[in-house]
Structure 1
Amino acid sequence: MPSHSPSLIAAAVAAALLLSAQGAALAQATPPTQSPAVIATLQQQGRYWQGRQPERAAEAWKKLLAVEPGNAEALSRLGSLALDAKKPDEARRYLEQLRKAHPDSQELKDLEQDIELASPAAKADLDQARILVREKRVEESAQKYKSLFKGRQPLGRIGVEYYSVLGYTSGGREEALAGLQRLARTYPNDGRIELTIASLRLQNQATRMDAMRSLAALSKRGDVGGEATEQWRGAMGWLGSPPPAAYVPLFRQYLAANPDDTEIREQLAGRGPKLPGQGVAQQGRGGPGGNAGGLGGQRKLDPVSLRMADGFAALNSNKIDEAEAAFAEAHRLRPGAGGPLGGLGLVRIKQQRWSEARDYLRQAERIDGPQQWKQASDSAAYWELVQQAGVSRTAGRYDEATRRLQQAMAIDPDSDDTTAENTLAGVYTDQKRTAEAERTFRHILARFPDDPDALRGLVGTLSSTGRTAEALALIEGLTPEQRSRIDIDKLRAEQAFGEGRAALARGEDGTAREKLQQAVNLAPDNPWMRLELARLDLRNGARTGAANLMQSLLERQPKEPEVIYTNGLFLAETKDWPGVLELMDRIPPAQRTPAMGSLQRSAAVNVQADQALALAHDGRRADANALLAQTATRVGDDAELLAIVAQAYVDLGELDRARALLTGAIERSARNPANASATTALQLRYGDVLLAAEDDASLATLLRQLQARDQAGQLDSDDRSSVETLRRAYVARQAEALRKQGRLAPAYELIKPLLADTPQDPALLGLLARMYADAGQEEQAQRIYRDMLQREPDDVNTLLASAGLALSQRNLREADERISRAETLAPQNPDVLATRGRLYRVQGRPAQAVVYLKRAEAAVIARNPGLVPRAVPRGQNPPAGFVSTDNPFAGYTPSVRSADPSPAALPEPVSTRPAR
């Protein structure tokens, strides 16, 4: 049986008794002088719990007072706990007890200071001092702390706090050390004071080794051992590999206590970074080790070096705010050093603020030389280009996106990162350049067979081009090892998604929906697949189901930025701009990509435009104009945002204001030749406004200017595509204007080249059908509608046009069939409701007709957006009879060609406004 010291047994028994009420009573009856072990045990308990669990600390101190009434430490500590609990009156009672029992004690002075600093004014100053520390304004913070003490020497924990700040001010270290040493004599064996002294002494080469020895001793303590060990290790990490011989015993002592620290072991053996500060942090696409402020062979730890070490340690622990604060402080202490700038660059990389990262790292390169920071600088440039390409891709500027991605890939052609190349393949997919997309994905897989993005991309490309068997073979051919690393369901989802997009391109909405739903089922957390399915449902009138589809994922992942963003894009489709704005505000600014920021700004401007229209609707036209003018001043010369404001002016009938807004921006942009791309964007938005305002004379002039710039080689393919889209819309409207004037032959000459180019464009076919109907060739018109519905049976606009024609032919059965189908797809669409009302009126059912016409009016007032017809891409040859070599309307009116039929020609504008 082991032997035990009688005093230890007595202390253990006494402590056990004190945990019960009976023990407490016995303790009260025990003379204080006979219970030194109990007193020591309770002091240890109180000190341990003081900063951890106030209730348990208070329990220990009260038990100590029961054993030794009037104990100075117990009274002081209980007073501090009362202050922490915001009970100043209770704290003052403990102060009075202290004053009576120990009028000259240190504990009395401590509690007096704590009570004084707990006043509202002092508390506000103390909070301000701490805020200044967080803001890296150390000199100001030290002054604010000093003012709290009113000329008296600081005491207790607040004194340690003050001196720990003062030690990092210019010239304040020696004063701080003297103050801490005074506190150490006042409070012997206080581990926090000893740790702070050691930290400050590390900054001085003459006292560094002694400081590290102090940290080694403190590492064995229970109160501050963990922090001491970290500081000890951090100081060793900056001594190079191998370290100076004088420090080797400290390394061996550390490894004896921490045998699993292989990094320090490698450093001691000479296999670690050769110079201090190298290899501390790796970042980006294989970024560099940062040389902290050019320590090099100096092997010294000055304040800058220590702050750099703190910064890299925080960076490695992903404590980004702490890392930024440390590097910023190092930069403040030594503005001309490259290390702090490089550290801030690495922080910006972590924050994905690529442009700022590149700027910081390039400054560091200029100071330290390229060998230290080039890899990180290249990484920042790479990701900045990838990010910019993503914004261009979202905006449909595919040439611009391609150019930036190719620049990114050229930075380090041998890099293992495939993000830019995969994104480039995605851009090719967006452009329907499937052969180039496939080639790019295969190029990636030739080098990295397990690249998940390239595998998914290739499966999707094969599926979207009808090569489903190849896609399946690719999936089934994966090795067991590849399958263990790749989510097969995601690959199958990509296959189904590709097939769904292919079906959409063919106009097979039913098949498309089946495949897209399959993709969503296989990859339920993919927000982009959901968005594609939701857009299809929305277009076909299933608005509630589409909204639920997006909302369900948002409810499961309410903080995921891409989920929030795609929900915002969906609400933008429905013109719910307040909803978009509320969603985008949920994304923290640090996680908001440029595309997300662009949607947020667009939503904000759209909200203000809608508010202006509402003001005008209420008769407050001057207020509406003032709001739009104010909004315009805030958007600068951003083409997309200006276009929103200009469109609002058009909706208000303020056409001159709309024109002036964009022409002014165009003139300002055109003064700087470097702004050619921005000028083109503004001109294209101006064209959209002119189109909406039906100002075809100005639109024709603008189109000719843009075509001239294109011929001069000043437009890229994205701009040319936008110009062509605008030209086609202009030509189609000119044809519609001619049709309304009964001039069918020249109208046909205008749309003939467009139909030859895109024979399945539903807008053009609808116009052609109306022309046949006007010419009395109703069967030919109905034939066009039937063909369109055969390819797109769920196109609501075509169903309504066909129903309208059937009504004019008194074919009520076919009209009813078409309207019923449209009602199934879009029961709240005002055009559907109005067409049903017309049918009832023709059928001689006026009461039912009035009901439906009123419902249609209510739907319009509620601003329920109608369905937008989906453009069908170029496909097979047009059905026979739809585009004739000869003009089918030549006999209807004199066939006068109003324009050259070549695709690029512009007809002279015909008035599209009704005569007054």
Structure 2
Amino acid sequence: MYRRFFHFSLISSNLLASLCVHTAFGMVQTNSDAEREIMRNAQLWQSQYRTDLARQQVNKLLLIEPNSAWGIATLASIALQEDKKAEAQQLLQKLQSLNANPQAIAQLQALLKLYTPQAQQELTQMRLFTQSGRTAEATALARKLFPEGPLALGNFQLDYYRALATAPGPNPKLDAALQEEYARTQNVQYKYLWIQRQLEAAPPSSTLLREIERLAVAAPSGDHTAKDLWRWALHKLPWEAVPETAQAFLNRFPQDESMQAYLAESRRQRAQAERIEQSPLNVAKRKGNQALDNLRLDEAQAQAQKILSIQPNDAEGWGLLGYIASRKTQYAAAQEAFEKAYHFDKAPHWKRLANTAHINSLLQQADAAVSRQDTVVMRAIAQQILAIDSHHAQAMTLQAQALNLEGKYQLAQDTYQAALKQVPIYLPALNQLVQMLIKQQQWDAASQVLKEYAAQLPPTDSDANALQAEIRQGQAQLLLAQNKQAPALRLLEQALQLTPQNPWLRHQLARLYLAMNEPALANSTMDDGITLTPDANEMRYARALIRAAQDQWSEAASDLTHIPETQRSSSMQQLLSEMQLNTLIQQAITAENTEKQEAALERAWALSIQVQDVQTQAQLANIWQRAGYNDQALAMWKHIEGRQHPLPLAMQLAYAQALSAAPQENPALMPLLHSLKEQQDALSQPQQQELLDLYARQAEQRIATLLSDGHPIQAANLARDTFLPHVDQGHTLAVRGRLLAAAQDWSAALPLLQSALEKQPHDFVLTLDTANAYARTGQLTSATALAQHAEATAMRQPPWQQLALVRLWQRLDQPQKAQNLLAQLQSNPEADPNEVLLHQGRLALNQRQYQQASEAFSTVAHSPALQRAPANQQAGIWEEYQAVEARRQSWVEIAAQRLSKSGTAGISALKGWEIPMVAWKASPELDGHHFLHVDRLALDAGTLSTSDIQSQDYGQIGAATASGLLPNAYQGPMHSKTNGFNVGLGFQGDRYDWDIGLTGLGMPVTNVVGGARFEIAKTPTTDWRLTLGRRPITGSLLSYSGAKDPVTGAVWGGVVHTFAALRATQQQGAWDQTADLSLGVITGKNVAHNTRTRLRLSTGKDMWRAAKQRIYAGVTLQYLAHNKNLAEYSWGHGGYYSPKSSVTLSLPIEWTGRAQAWTWRLQGSASVSHTSSSRSDLYPGAAHPLALSNQSGYYSSNGGSGTSWALQAAIERQLNNNVAIGAKLGIDRSENFAPNQFQIYLRYALNPVRRLLENQPRQVTPYSEF
């Protein structure tokens, strides 16, 4: 090869940067085209050392513009060229006095420095170094002499470029500068330098050869540079291209003997090459390589086999087989072929190719391991690759990814950064590192990583755009993780402008548009990508994914079928199968009739089982399950298990997930879980967590069954004792805590959840679980703090987790926060619309907005999606809907209630009937019912016997006897009985009740009664209610309706209790607690005033519960106090129980239930009490003259302890949709009190009937018992 005769210097980065500034006149800023042209001519003459002509041009300019800065500076440079330094100094002083262009002054000062003796000596050395090929020394001097690049003044440009010409390698900026200088000066030396650089870089093109030939023809006598360049170019040509060009050279230089010899040699070499080229071996090689280049792989394979049949030891034949296998991604076969090639030809590139194929084979295995998150295999593969290439960035990234999945975040971060040291901007490592930091909520660290690597990017140009776009993508992901959608959107849009043909950038932007509820923008983003690259498979695939995210199954399938089948990746083919199956299932769901539905399902099933790829079949099984076809999903898994047994561990887990999702426990599930437990060591950490969750889910189902069957103790024991595979302490604690929470053992669940949260503080679901436990145990401040912490990251969570936060806010009685989150979820395309609607309905129900709740539940209950849900889920949602609709129900009811209380005839005995008749009408807002009561009364205390000593304590008989009045002179009745009515109207609702009415119409005493009950405060655990009322006391005929005094005929009695009561109810886990404080005044006609104080505390819980039955037991403590004892029946007394103080401890128990159309309630209680009564006057507060005249008697105080019991039973039968009948029996027994009560009733529901059957009877309540 001909030796180069020009020497180059290595160019430094700062000097290269200076080449972007135009040299020479390009730096001169002038005011007119004429001035610019004069200056260009002057500098052209100056470069040709015709300073006389250059002066003429400058003087011409100075006549036009005497103070032209560049004109004066150029004149000074001419003076220096003529060795007139004094003149140059004077011209510099003139420029400075004129305050001329600073750039012109700076250029002239720099030029003057070059004319110092030292600079001149260094310039001479620089030229010598350049000529002798000492590039480093030449470059160093150029850097020193021209720190800002070539000067616009003087004539040193060519020296500068000769010194800075580089060693072989592309440098477009330097090439452009040389071309510009040639165009400006027409100095052919610049063209020579440019041609040398092109020849150094590559063999000459035909265009370059013509250019060299033109220069050689035009070269003046004695200039052999062009001829030498032409000769060099010829020696760089392949032999077959030499003859024609060499002949042209000899046409110009016919006496050149060396070229004549070279031409002859080239002809001999070409003839020999043609003979070799036409040999069968080389023909096969040529055809094989051509077929490979055109991706005709089968043809290339055939030619490779032909090569090896001719020459079995041919390295190129084996290499061709390796290339073909690589193109087919058969890397193991490629490795074997390349190793054979290296065996026969020790060329190092065969070894490199074999190693590359081996690495690619390992990476291929790594893809499968990554997809199933098998960290053990991932790390093993990474180690194998690093044993081959210790600096392999992709292997380091794989290793870091495994560490990340295992939760070893610091080690993962160090390994990612090690990969980035090998390849400074290795985007997979950079992206994964940023994603890991985002997941850990290390926003500052993620931002710092992005800034650090963004700073390493080259200036933005066509080569750097992709990198700049990737950095913006990473910054956008960081912002999205912090729920900052708007700035993230701007970054992604900027990135798309840099790389508009990037399908996955478009995909990410489209996903963000979908998240912002802008589907039109999402679709147009992907459509624009298809317009730009209509045949790009990846763009089609990306658009298919966006369409699939919008449930546009057929459109997504259309995109995928546009990709040739041979070019579809496994993931593309899998998605196509999924889209086709979804389309068929959707057709089945929306089919007009059963026949069409079954036909669509048959086609869907046929598609499922004809797919050959097991991974795709597993995905299709998941689709069947998500669509609600559990039987088909399990049948699909059976089909997969039949084709591949045993299943890979990842598939076994997926199969277990499908089994656990079935409504009933499948017998195949537990053996599969036990098998997975035995292989736990082979599972990755995420897979171990999945196995733990499966065990927990089975335990939760059994706990739910135990609770519904009324076995809370067994449920709590199961939660504590059930086997759980150990993953790590944090996850195991969390799962155990959740099981205890599911068993409603909140106090035991809370410490476990707290400990788990300390170990996993960023776990969103665990944060909510712990907050719920705090709320359930009454620790609302702690619960709210955790809810607020979760709220900060809620928008980054999947919709189902956000809905869990909605429920928590609802439990914490913060409906506005719940509503705000639901409003955001409505625009989330990934959220299940039915789930969002259900939560909106429940929130509306909680806020007593029943119309809105009804609309939400109705939409869900009638949605096609619900038809595919499991039967128990459908039933639950319909039950919620019907419970709201039941509020629209109106009805009428009537009862006959028999009253019976033993006692002294005519005094304390009571028999009779109450016949309540009630009409109920739903309020328009569905928050309660209006009612109208008309109750018929017939009460009879019996006939008083004057011979009975007890008659002396009735009315004023004692006073009459003391006065000597005989019974035949009495003016009142001796038989106490009365008939009349109680009437009332009012409203009973959720937040308040009210009523007003009359009791005792047509009886001796008629009273206005009524009341109002208000909800005054509500917290997540406590309700506070205030009641104001005026109610009749019905324990005796005297207190209830009033009576006539047998002696005088005057009326007394008809007692009412006017009171205010404050009631607090609280739920603490399974226990309910109630506190009730009541203060009141008791009055009656001609009855002394009294006061009553009552404090009642109670607690209880369900001791057993089934789906339609429960047994409830509790304990009640009551304190009762009166100012006076007015329990007697003499004039001024009220005939009602009024001890000075009474403390009673009761143990109530209740069993309620329903079986088909029957419901029942059985209540019983046993009590022990201690009572004391104060002394009271015989005729307290008497206003009647007879009683006043005989007030000397009194009732003595007494007290003591006793026991009592009570029993009440009720039964009801629903005869049809409208009519129900029932009966109730009540018995109460204590030492001096033995009332009985019996009621039969009928209820008629007005059409349309909406009310659900309840799990206990609803007997009619008389107005007197309100």
Structure-1-length-normalised TM-score:
0.51
Q: 1:309 aligns with which of 276, 279, 286?
A: 286
- Which aligned pairs between 1:267-666 and structure 2 lie closer than 5 A? 301-312=278-289, 318-321=293-296, 325=299, 328-329=302-303, 331=305, 335=309, 337-338=311-312, 339=314, 340=317, 342-350=319-327, 352=329, 354=331, 357-358=334-335, 374-413=351-390, 418-422=393-397, 424-425=399-400, 434-449=409-424, 466-467=444-445, 470-471=448-449, 474-475=452-453, 478=456, 482-483=458-459, 494-495=470-471, 497-498=473-474, 501=477, 508-509=482-483, 511=484, 514-515=487-488, 517-523=490-496, 525=499, 526-529=502-505, 531-532=507-508, 534-535=510-511, 538=514, 546-589=522-565, 591-607=567-583, 610=586, 618-619=594-595, 623=599, 626-627=602-603, 629-636=605-612, 638-639=614-615, 641-642=617-618, 644-645=620-621, 648=624, 655=631, 658-659=633-634, 661-663=636-638, 665-666=640-641
Instruction: Write the distance in 2 (CA, Å) between the matches of 1:891 and 1:844.
Output: 25
Q: What's the CA shift for 1:680?
A: 1.7
Matching residue of 2:794:
792
Mapping of residues 179-258 of structure 1, within 5 Å = 254-257=241-244
Q: In structure 1, what is the equivalent of residue 1057 of structure 2?
A: none
Describe the SS at the equivalent of 2:444. coil
* Contact 2:768–2:808 (CA under 8 A) maintained in structure 1: no
Distance 1:300 1:499 in 2: 56
What residue identity is the alignment partner of 1:310?
Answer: K
Deviations 1:275-329 (CA, angstroms, capped at 9, x unpaired): 999xxxxxxxxxxxxxxxxxxxx968532421212333565xx4333x8635524
> Do the aligned partners of residues 828 and 440 (structure 1) sit closer, same or farther apart at CA in structure 2, a change above 3 Å counting?
closer
Query: What amino acid does structure 2 have at the position aligned with 1:829?
Result: P
1:4-153 to 2 correspondences below 5 Å: none
Deviations 1:425-456 (A, max 9, x none): 56656766554444344434545557676677
Q: Give the direction of change, closer, same or farther, for the CA distance of 1:803–1:428 in structure 2 (3 Å limit).
A: closer
The answer (yes or no) to whether the contact 2:372–2:650 under 8 Å persists in 1 is no
Deviations 1:575-631 (A, max 9, x none): 544344333333344544444344344444555555566679735676466445534
Partner in structure 1 of residue 691 of structure 2:
723
Q: Evaluate the alpha carbon distance shift between residue 402 and residue 329 of structure 1 in structure 2; reply closer, same or farther with a 3 A threshold.
A: same
How far residue 692 of structure 1 moved from its aligned partner, in angstroms, is 1.9
Partner Cα distance (2:688, 2:816) in 1: 46
Partners of 2:526 and 2:778 lie apart in 1 by 47
Asked if the contact 2:787/2:809 (under 8 Å) is kept, the reply is no
Question: Is the 1:732–1:764 contact (alpha carbons within 8 Å) kept by the matching residues of 2?
Answer: no
Letter in 2 for 1:688: Q
Q: Displacement, 1:532? A: 4.8
Contact 1:613/1:648 (8 A) holds in 2: no
Q: CA deviation at 1:855?
A: 5.4
1:706: Cα distance to partner?
Answer: 0.9
The verdict on how the C-alpha distance between 1:702 and 1:650 changes in structure 2, with shifts beyond 3 A counting, is: farther
CA displacement at 1:845 relative to structure 2: 7.7
Residues 1:704 and 2:708 are matched in the alignment: no
Matches of 2:842 and 2:596, distance apart in 1:
36
Q: Does the CA-based 8 Å contact 1:500-1:514 persist in structure 2? A: yes
Residues 89-119 of structure 1 deviation map (CA, whole Å, 9 limit, x = unaligned)? xxxxxxxxxxxxxxxxxxxxxxxxxxxxxxx
Partner-residue secondary structure (3-state), 1:559 = coil
**Distance in 1 between the 2:792 and 2:353 partners?**
57
Between Structure 1 and Structure 2, whose CA radius of gyration is higher?
2
Counterpart of 1:693 in 2: which secondary structure?
coil
Do the aligned residues in 1 keep the contact of 2:503 with 2:529 (CA within 8 Å)? yes
Q: 1:794–1:822: 8 Å Cα contact kept in structure 2?
A: no
Match of 2:535, SS state, is coil
* 1:255 CA displacement: 1.3
2:373 touches 2:684 (CA, 8 Å); kept in 1? no
Distance (Å, rounded) in 2 between the aligned partners of 1:708 and 1:733: 23
CA 1:594–1:368: 2 relative to 1, 3 Å: farther
Q: Are positions 1:829 and 2:798 aligned together?
A: no
Aligned equivalents of 1:856 and 1:495: distance in 2? Answer: 44
Matched to 2:674, the amino acid is R
CA distance in 1, matches of 2:688, 2:846: 48
Cα distance in 1 for partners of 2:853, 2:686 equals: 48
Paired residue type of 2:295? I
Deviates more, 1:764-773 or 1:541-550: 764-773
**CA deviation digits over 1:316-371, x for unaligned, max 9?**
xx4333x8635524635864754545424323434655456456656777898998
State how far apart, in whole Å, the 1-side matches of 2:516 and 2:563 are: 30
Paired position in structure 2 for 1:42: none
Matched with 1:685 is 654
AA paired with 1:792? Answer: A
Aligned length: 587
1:385-419, Cα deviation, whole Å (9 max, x unpaired): 324433543454444444434434444447xx744
Aligned-pair identity in percent equals: 20
Instruction: Give the partner amino acid of 1:709.
Output: Q
Q: Aligned letter for 2:360?
A: W
CA contact (8 A) 1:691 1:730 kept: yes
C-alpha distance after superposition, 1:43-72 (max 9, x if no partner): xxxxxxxxxxxxxxxxxxxxxxxxxxxxxx
Which of the pair is proportionally richer in strand? 2
- Say whether the 8 Å CA contact 2:335–2:358 is kept in structure 1: yes
Which consecutive residues of structure 2, in runs of 5 or more, have no partner in the other structure? 1-234, 249-261, 720-736, 742-748, 870-1019, 1022-1066, 1073-1100, 1105-1154, 1157-1266
Query: 1:729 offset after TM fit, Å?
Result: 4.7
TM-superposed deviation, 1:728: 5.0
In the alignment, the residues of structure 2 paired with residue 453 and residue 801 of structure 1 have an alpha-carbon distance, to the nearest angstrom, of: 34
Q: What amino acid sits opposite 2:444 in the alignment?
A: G
8 Å Cα contact 2:627-2:868 kept in structure 1: no
Alpha carbons of structure 1 residues 413 and 386: separation in structure 2 relative to 1, 3 Å? same
1:155-202 per-position Cα deviation (integer Å, ceiling 9, x unaligned): xxxxxxxxxxxxxxxxxxxxxxxxxxxxxxxxxxxxxxxxxxxxxxxx
Q: What residue number does 2:997 align with? A: none
Distance 2:265 2:868 in 1: 73
Offset at 1:829? 3.0
What does the per-residue CA deviation read over 1:725-764, in whole Å, with 9 as the maximum and x for residues that have no partner? 5445555666666676784855855454565465665556
Give, in angstroms, the shift of residue 662 of structure 1. Answer: 2.9
Structure 1 gap segments, 5+ residues each: 1-247, 278-297, 672-677, 866-880, 897-914
SS of 1:585 mapped into structure 2: helix
Q: Which residue identity does 2:449 align to in structure 1?
A: A
Q: Any conservation in 2 of the 1:466–1:499 contact (CA below 8 Å)?
A: no
Corresponding residue SS for 1:320: coil
Cα distance in 2 for partners of 1:760, 1:468 equals: 16
Distance of aligned partners of 1:632 and 1:658 in 2 relative to their CA distance in 1, 3 Å threshold: same
Tell me the C-alpha RMSD between the 2 structures: 5.8
CA drift of 1:693 comes to 1.0
